A and B are shown apart, each in its own frame.
Chain A
Amino acid sequence: MSAQLPPCLLWSPDDHRPLEEYQTGIPRWCVGCGDNAILAAVQRLCRDESLSPERTVFVSGIGCSSRLPHYMRAYGFHGTHGRALPIAEGVKMARPDLTVFVTTGDGDCLSIGAAHWLHALRYNMDLTVLLHDNHIYGLTKKQVSPTSPIGTRSNTTPKGSFLPPLNPLTVTLGVPNASFVAQAVDWIPEVLYQILSAAYRHKGTSFVRILQRCPEFMPGMFDPWVRDPSRTLLLRHEKALTLSPAVAATYRNQREHDPSDMNAAREIASVDDPIPVGILYHDPSAPRYEEIRNGGSVRTRETIRRGLEAELDRLTIWPEAPAAGA
């Protein structure tokens, strides 16, 4: 299959496609929803990487963010709540030649799908995972989520939520074989795009947490950070993000961070104000489950026949035995 060929051999001028090639339908998200910014960045990525729509699959769970596949002109699987990752793993195992994206939310990934999240990181299959984290359940109309700040008033916590929020970055960085961990925000589209691009190019599970505004149920949640650029900590490194002059001029709170440094990554991840934005951790050499398991390998009819006959041979009684009874 084409996946076995180097991309340079496959490229042709026809592969340049306009943005419209990847668009379909009109998103039904609320006005001002951060999901729109993520969708735009993803469509731009597909165009710039000249992804073939028929060889690209978007898998999602349930929630506002999980509607994204419906707005992409590609193959999509809008699954069940929390299960986007195992579905995507099955897709990738059967067909490593396909490009697979996963879009999920803080409820979908970190709550009902939490077990799958941790194990997906271990499997480290070549998936680009976008965690749309708006700190609230939107589609079910405002319930506290695992990342809601303590004290969040919601329909299930009218007097304020009880527990401190989960930090998806530190948890992710604690899982052995996690190979790409980044954080983006929907309100800096250029950096969001850069991070998605690096995530897509990484071979392995790229986990990108995207802080995403929900104007309907968490209005003003990120306003202090949106308004004050100094409360964003931009991570730059020659092996990670290089910032454009415009971005660098606006977001001056920067830190040089080598994404191969796990200890520094964990330290950065544990701070939520200023919000770290950039690639926290990147290990291009982490083993990938679909490679280890030889996913997508083709068996011939002859292989199956021979395999079956060999097994049957081991279990067969041949009709040469003498009669019982002495």
Chain B
Amino acid sequence: MRAYRGAAPPENPPAAPPHAPGSSSALHVPTLERPVTQPRRALRRAIDEHVVEIVSDSGEGAQRCGQSFGAIAARSGLGIWTVEIIPAEIQPPARSVAGASGNRIRIASRPVTNGGDEVDLVVAFNEQVLRGRVEAGELRPGATILLESAWSNDRDPQIAREYAETREELVAHGYRVIDIPMDAESRKIVSDPRRGKNMFALGMLCLIYGLDLRLAREQIALTFGKKDQAVIDQNVRLLEAGWAWAERELDLRYELKAMPVTAPQVVMNGNTAIALGILASGMEICAMYPITPATSASHYLTEVFERVGGIVHQAEDEIAACAFAIGASYAGKCAVTITSGPGFSLKQEGIGLAVMTEIPLVVVDVQRGGPSTGQPTKPEQGDLLAAMFGAHGDAPKVVLAVSGIEDCFYAMITARKIAETFNTVVIVLSDGSLATAQQPIPRPAFSEEWLAPPVDQSPVPEGALPYDWDATTGLIRRWIPGQPGGMHTITGVAHDRAGHIAYDATSNEDGLRHRSLKLAALQRTLRCPSVFGGDDGDLLIVGWGSTKGAIEEAVERLRAEGRRVSSLHLGFIQPLPSGVGEILRRFRKVVTVEMAWADRPEDALIDEDNRRYSPLAMLLRSRFLVDVDCWTDVSGRPMRPGAIRDAMIDRLTSV
């Protein structure tokens, strides 16, 4: 077995290194004694939060187990944040280290905004997928492992040996390994335990965390609602068997104080929220091409549009999807195209066209690791500058980033409105860590103001010009086919106020000036985000997008430790609201925290003349002439508050 790797990047060792290679088994925790006959009257240990993982081979239902567990916890009044664990392949070989499929659920006695740090308790259906998680540094030192024990006497001696070796090593590294005969126990109820042990595991987890069995039964009915009653009953039996087994055999009991649920909440992931936001914005046409991790938004939107009306067009390629959306926007209401990094690169030509012709367009980029194919299933924030400057020439467009599940919903409504008001492109940046993360949010209350106005078909006044740019705001009133008297040809070629192709210097400058002025006009309407923490201090963290929850949690921890640290989170990045520069100058040190690459100063060739800063740091430095530093993490994991906290302590001590 290879040495386990630590959890954190090398320049940022955690306070207690989890398990150095070759470390002795000093942390050895004896595993459970053999079964006792009486149900254990174990005391419940009060905790504020736990991070729980369920991992299996693909197709064994760990994801369903995890999602159900999250939903039950949320209904019980606990704060939750769930993250899907997705292997890159559809059917990775069974029992492979890279093949873990499942769910990570952070539960807490307060609202949570991110996936937290390392895992406290993991249910593993085999030891190999678990190894993958351990080697990736996902587990807390001493974490509890509920491990399927059937492999110990597998018919294949190789498998039995692998199991024994790995188990021994896990114990030696200080994990508390508890053998669970999930397979054998489930077999008492179903013939194929691969199709049942996930609900057995759910039952155990409900017992361990003191969740209401009635809610769990209801959740199963909801989950399997489309199937027949026999399926629901069987899954309930498995759930109850897991509960009963754990009650009899395990001494693990935790108690989390629940918050009273006073208002309806919706539990959904970021991509679902984006799709619902599109529906709520009144947009009717979405053109897309399949790409991970964006596609699930289009899947869900397709489902919704089937019922409500509206069209999701799967185009022949990303370029066509963008062009189709532009054509639909041109002739009617603003349309949307949804993509991820590689597709976003391909859409740049269309984005430039929409900017030049001043056709409203919403582009959603659910970022993933890049460049090129990169890491399709892993989050990164590497597309910021491509979003701002990607199209050739000067192509001013609005760029906003979503910072949470709720934001995913409302950002789509905002984006549509801005696109149509300013006749421009609005790019909404999400990323893989929000795409599949679930969180309860207050149920949105529908407002008619969210919707697009009907398509204007009124006559155009005689003598009016299609590009009669307003001298102050750069705004035009766009004419839509069908409007009598408005016949004109729009073109991606430089054009004058009449829309005619014009190569003269005055017309070209006229177009450039007014398209750019629109951003200033929008900027004047934006409010500066408020500072989280204190108004001034030693360190300001600046972030954007999905990292908001993790950054603010890190700030809370640092402030609780007496550090004068605050954070500022940007939603609108282009244009940037007024007041940001003034905030930066109130802090002794400013550091951006981003999931994007930045040169590491400790590398031999890197110095101040050649260091490539992360995107936001580069922007802030150039706009405000403030010496903004950056700390970035490109591990492909959602940002962790603990890692930010440790890195900021580093920065504070080097002030």
Task: Check A299–B309 contact: CB distance below 8 A.
Answer: yes
Given the known interface contacts A70-B489, A76-B489, the answer about A317 and B266 at a Cβ–Cβ threshold of 8 Å is yes
A63 contacts chain B at the CB level, 8 A cutoff: no
Q: A304 to B279, Cβ gap below 8 A?
A: yes
How far, in angstroms, from A301 to B493 measured CA to CA in the complex? 37
Q: Are B267 and A317 in contact (CB under 8 A)?
A: yes
Number of A-B contacts (CB under 8 A): 230
> In the complex, A90→B311 CA distance in Å?
11
Contact B482 A95 (CB under 8 A): yes
CB–CB A321/B444 < 8 A:
no
Contacts A312-B276, A325-B257 hold; do A90 and B266 have CB atoms under 8 A apart? no
Distance A82 CA – B368 CA, assembled complex (angstroms): 28
Chain A contributes a number of interface residues (CB within 8 A of B) equal to 65
Please tell me if the beta carbons of A315 and B266 are within 8 angstroms of each other in the complex.
yes
- Bound-state CA distance A294–B307 (Å) is 13
Does B501 lie within 8 Å of A307, measured CB to CB?
no
Chain A residues lying within 8 Å of B62, measured Cβ to Cβ, are none
Contacts of A13-66 to chain B: CB distance below 8 A: 25, 53-55, 57-59, 62
Q: A77-B490, A325-B255 are in contact. Are A94 and B446 (CB under 8 A)?
A: no
A288 within 8 A of B: no
Which chain A residues (252-306) contact chain B, with CB distance < 8 Å? 293-295, 297, 299, 301, 303-306
Judged by a CB distance under 8 angstroms, whether B335 is at the interface is yes
Question: Which residues of chain B in 458-490 are interfacial with respect to chain A, using CB atoms and an 8 Å cutoff?
Answer: 481-490
B324 partner, pick from A57, A87, A308, A310, beta carbons under 8 A? A87
B326 within 8 A of A: yes
Whether A90 contacts B319 in the complex (CB less than 8 A), given A80-B349, A295-B311, A299-B308, comes out as no
Contact residues, A104-139 vs B (CB, 8 A) = 115-116, 118-119
Given contacts A87-B326, A94-B335, A304-B280, contact A312 B487 (CB under 8 A): no
| Chain B nearest CB, measured from A85 CB (Å) | 8
Residues on B with beta carbons closer than 8 Å to the beta carbon of A70: 489, 491, 500-501
Question: Which of B26-34, B281-289, B552-560 participates in binding chain A?
Answer: B281-289
Q: Number of B interface residues, CB 8 Å?
A: 85
B451 touches A94 (CB 8 A): no
Check if A90 sits within 8 Å of B264, measured CB to CB.
no
Kindly list chain A residues whose C-beta atoms are within 8 Å of the C-beta of B266.
Answer: 312, 315-317
CA distance A54 to B480 in the complex (A): 9
CB < 8 Å neighbour of B262 from A311, A319, A322: A319
Cα(A70)–Cα(B448), bound, Å: 39
A25, B444: Cα distance in complex, Å:
52
**Docked CA distance A323–B489 (Å):** 63
Counting chain B CB atoms within 10 Å of each CB, which of A74, A77, A97, A303 scores highest? A77
User: B1-9, B87-95, B204-212, B422-430: which one contacts chain A?
Assistant: B204-212
Instruction: State whether A69 touches B489 (Cβ < 8 A).
Output: yes
- Are B481 and A312 in contact, with the CB atoms below 8 A? no
Q: Which residues of A contact B451 (CB under 8 A)?
A: 301, 304
Chain B residues within an 8 Å CB radius of A236: none
Does residue A198 face the partner (Cβ distance < 8 Å to B)? no
Interchain nearest-CB distance for B315 vs A (Å): 7
> Contacting A75 at CB < 8 Å: which of B74, B262, B320, B486?
B486
- B: residues with CB less than 8 A from A are 44, 71, 73-78, 209-212, 215, 255-258, 260-268, 272, 276, 279-280, 282, 284-285, 287, 304, 307-311, 313, 315-317, 319-321, 323-333, 335, 349-350, 352-353, 357, 440, 443-444, 446, 448, 451, 481-493, 500-501
Q: A119-B315, A316-B443 are in contact. List 11 more A-B contacts (CB 8 A).
A: A76-B487, A86-B316, A90-B324, A91-B330, A94-B333, A115-B320, A303-B309, A307-B307, A308-B276, A324-B77, A326-B44
Q: List 22 A-B contacts (CB under 8 A).
A: A55-B482, A70-B489, A75-B486, A77-B357, A78-B491, A83-B320, A86-B323, A90-B328, A94-B331, A94-B332, A94-B335, A98-B482, A115-B320, A294-B311, A297-B309, A301-B448, A316-B443, A317-B71, A321-B75, A325-B44, A325-B256, A326-B210
